[in-house]
Amino acid sequence: MRRELWREGAHVQLGLLLGDAAALIAFVLLGQRAHGVADAEGALWRAGVQVIALGLPYALLGALLGAYPSALPRTGMAWLALAARAGIAALFAVPLGLFVRAAWLGQSGVPLLFAAVALPLGTVFVGGWRLMLAVGVRLRASRAAPLRPSATAPRT
């Protein structure tokens, strides 16, 4: 059986990291649009600061907790374990990232309401893309699996 390159290796880690970054960028940009600051002066700079301030702690904690494995999970339970590791990373990284963001932008603190919205919504964005990946991988694997002969099929 040949090794499937899209399921194993360092490029899996890079793919997960890039997917998480894309989800975080979408979260930040949609947040700016929702708050009416996407067209304001310095919006791109602020978006970059937010992505780095939130993404870097998440990527580092995620790497330490195993949220970036070198092979994609093969079972539903393994996907759940991966989701749990990513969720734990988010639980600690998002508050830390919000404080880094506030300091970088010269703010005196993090509004509690902002943190209460950023943590679950950011997690939904990252978790959502990972869920789509898991479903896609499982569907592709089930289609690629050889068909098993039925127990009631006549033998020749």
Is residue 152 in some structural domain?
Answer: no
65 membership: H or E segment, kind and range: helix 43-65
pLDDT of residue 6: 53
Residue 91 sits in which domain range?
Answer: 10-139
Closest CA to 87 of 56, 126, 115, 118: 126
When divided into structural domains, the chain yields a total of 1
Q: Is residue 99 part of a domain?
A: yes
Residue 156: both structure tokens together: 């020749």
Q: What angle do CA 91, 96, 102 make, to 5 degrees?
A: 135
Q: Looking at the domain assignment, is residue 149 inside a domain?
A: no
Residue 5 domain flag:
no
Length of the chain: 156
Please, what sign has the CA dihedral across residues 83, 86, 87, 88?
positive
Is residue 42 one of the residues assigned to a domain? yes
> Does the residue 83 lie in any domain?
yes
Q: In this structure, is residue 125 part of a structural domain? A: yes
Kindly give the confidence (pLDDT) of every residue in the chain, 156 residues in length, as a single tens digit, with 9 standing for 90 and above. 444 545 677 888 999 999 999 999 999 999 999 988 888 888 888 899 889 999 999 999 999 999 999 988 988 899 999 999 999 999 999 999 999 989 988 999 998 888 899 899 999 999 999 999 988 888 887 777 665 555 555 555
8 strand-pairing partners: 71
Given a contact cutoff of 8 angstroms between Cβ atoms, the answer to whether 101 and 49 are in contact is: yes
